[in-house]
Structure formats: structure tokens, C-alpha cells
Amino acid sequence: MFEVIGKSLKTGVVTTSYPLTPAEVSRHTRGKPEIDWANWKDARPAARVCPTGAIEFTDEERKRIATLDLGKCIFCGLCADADPAIHMSNQCELATRERAGLKLSAKYQLTSDGMHERLLENPAAGSAGGQSLEAVGQQLQARIRSMLGRSLHIRQVDAGSCNGCEVEIVALNSPIYDIERFGIHFVASPRHADMLLVTGPVTLNMELALRKTYEAMPAPRLVVAVGACGCSGGIFGLNYATVGGVDSVVPVDVYIPGCPPNPHALLHGILLAVNRWRGT
């Protein structure tokens, strides 16, 4: 016991101060693809190689609407390999309250051969809810107490994931991220939960179980869809074994894209969900 205490004192505090400080993300971490919209010459090569249809376009009368859907993106980087106007960033704080908030679309005038002649409309900038993440972090504990009168309890449901998201969720309870410092705890029963954290595309076998889990939660209740699969069905989409994203079964309050989202991204989404509960 004394050896453990001595080692702890020698090691010091290892817990990140996020979200009061920026996310400590390696420059090698693969986050969302960044598109140089003004200098994007052709959406077709990137759309052709995208395995999930996250990059797509529609053409009409020498005009093109090109869309990047982060809810479908698995951050594979194939688009960046195919197009010099795209590069992979390490940005991970991408959670949104609305599914539409994960979609960025730009409009182009086309040349006769289908290339982008000029940009007509820039994509709208995304928003994290009108409040800085630092401010949300500073107010989180007070918000939980005022909204619930107790700690926030989360029930995690694997609706058909590959367990990649689960690996990142488990890390939230490690000394590095220590989600319990906010008064947030994971629980085994949905009857004790305030928030449902759902991963994976919802399989046919899990559809009823997810509905029953949601119905067993006391109101008010929150649902957070985790990962590309949870947001849209991801690489699986709709098929004989899955019904798609989480919102095809239960209402979703916050979407956290990624494949898988790292602990910073997960924490960002959970904080955003709590902020949403206040109606702000």
C-alpha cells in the first residue's frame, strides 16, 4: 500500500484539465477531413473513393452541390489521398445537437467537362451550441446539480458496434480523463440512467432491446449517438442486418462523429448534451 502511495506521489497528477484547456491531441491523430472549398477543383475523385458516401454531389444545369457528411465519415483518409484540396486534420471536437449540423455543402459553377469553375456558395460554419467548450466545462457541475439534483448517470448500449467506440468510452474512466471528476458515472441499469450512450449501427436483433432500454429510463432523458455507425449507420449503412443510425429507433439529442471518436470527442459530446438539457 505504501509503495502505491509513494509511486502516486512521485508520478503526480496525470489527469487532463480538458475542457478547461484545449484537447491534448497528437498531431498524428486522424480527425475530420478539411476541404479547401475555394480551391477544390473537382468533387468526383473524392466521392468515387469514399467508402461510406460521406462525400457526394449532385449536378444540375452546370451547377454542382458538393457535400461532406461528417456523420458518415470514418476518417479513413482515402479522399485526401485522391484529392490535393483535402487533408486530414486532428480536429476531434465535432459533436452537434442536430444531425444536419454534421453536413457541409458548397455550390459550384461547372465547366463543360464537369470541373469546378468557381465557388458560388461557401459552406456554413458549424457551431458547438453557441457557447465555448471552456465555459461549458466550468459550468458543468453546477448545471448537473441544478438540473438533476444529483450526479449524471450514463447507461452505455452497444447496439451492434465493432467495439472500437467501447475502447474509447472505457478510457473515460481512466486516470487520464477521469470523467467522474464531473460527477458523471456509468451505471448498469437504464432505470438509474439520465443519459443513454449508444454505439454501433442498430442491428435488427438489438432494435427492440434499444427501444426497451430507452423506455425504461426515467424522464427527462438524453440520448447520445456515438461514432459514424451511431450517427448514420457508418460503413454498414442500411442492409439486411441493420436498421441504420440510432435516430432510426430512438430520438437523439447529440451526435458524436468519428470512427471511433477519441475520449476528448466523447467528453465534448457529453458536455454538449448536458448543455442542451437546459434548452440553450
Q: Say which range, 128-132, 210-214, 260-264, has the weakest mean pLDDT.
A: 128-132
- Classify residue 88: in a domain, yes or no: no
Q: Which residues contact 42 (CB under 8 A, 6 or more apart)?
A: 83, 114, 115, 116
- Classify residue 72: in a domain, yes or no: no
- Classify residue 142: in a domain, yes or no: yes
Q: Do 246 and 159 meet the contact criterion of CB atoms below 8 Å apart?
A: yes
- Specify the pLDDT at position 139: 54
Task: Using the predicted structure, report yes or no on whether residue 211 has a pLDDT greater than 50.
Answer: yes
> What confidence tens digit (pLDDT) does each residue in 85-144 have?
999 999 999 999 999 999 999 999 999 999 999 999 998 644 434 445 545 455 555 555
- pLDDT band of 13, cuts 50, 70, 90: confident
- Classify residue 86: in a domain, yes or no: no
* Grid coordinates of 57: 454531389
- Classify residue 205: in a domain, yes or no: yes
> What confidence tens digit (pLDDT) does each residue in 219-243 have?
889 999 999 999 999 999 899 999 9
| Count of structural domains, the chain | 1
Q: Which domain holds residue 250?
A: 133-277
Which domain CATH number covers 187? 3.40.50.12280
Q: Do 233 and 74 meet the contact criterion of CB atoms below 8 Å apart?
A: no
- Classify residue 150: in a domain, yes or no: yes
- Which contacts (CB < 8 Å, 24+ apart) does range 17-22 have? 18/137, 18/177, 18/264, 18/267, 19/133, 19/134, 19/136, 19/137, 19/267, 19/268, 19/271, 20/134, 20/137, 20/138
Task: Using the predicted structure, report yes or no on whether residue 21 has a pLDDT greater than 60.
Answer: yes
- Classify residue 199: in a domain, yes or no: yes
